Amino acid sequence: MAPVVRPLAEVSEDGRFVVYSVPLPYNPAAAPAGQTNGPSQVYVWDAETQTATLVSTATDGLTPANHHSMGARISADGRFVAFFSLATNLAEDTPDSLWRAYWWERLTGRLHLAGEVDASSLPDDWIIGW
């Protein structure tokens, strides 16, 4: 059975905010052989201010996730974003690359760990976007 293609972007109810995942630019010095892109990151585009904000940031609030972050969803009012990541630098004490769920609050810019996710619970047709 072919996987169902799901959109890699989602829009808030009023159309102001768009959440999406794209890979970081390719860095040949740091990438394993055969890799063409960096890890996927989650961003929120604000159509009113014409700015994109990196959501999948490390605990310093600036460094991008060190592994793929995807499956992002945005709340109707654009205030909250939820996503999954294999990154080990988004929260303290997460040394293993396991799927974890996170939520981000736009008003504060804070990222919160929601918990670990059993990969077997993800749908078979879940498209990860990279």
Q: Structure tokens of 71?
A: 């499956």
Distance CA 21, CA 56 (A): 10
Residue 122 lies in a domain: no
Q: 73: domain range?
A: 9-25+37-91+99-117
Q: Could you read off the pLDDT of 9-26 as tens digits, one per residue?
A: 999 999 999 999 988 765
Examine the pLDDT at 2 and tell me if it is beyond 50: no
Residue 17 lies in a domain: yes
Residue 24 is predicted with a pLDDT of 74
Q: Is 3 exposed, middle or buried (0-12, 13-18, 19+ CB in 10 A)?
A: exposed
Residue 76 lies in a domain: yes
pTM, two decimals, is 0.79
Nearest one of 68, 66, 56, 72 to 109, comparing CA atoms: 56
5 confidence band (pLDDT: 50, 70, 90): very low
Residue 81 lies in a domain: yes
Q: Could you read off the pLDDT of 27-73 as tens digits, one per residue?
A: 555 555 555 567 889 999 999 999 999 999 999 999 999 999 989 99
Q: How far apart are the first and last CA of the chain?
A: 20
Q: For the chain, how many structural domains are there in total?
A: 1
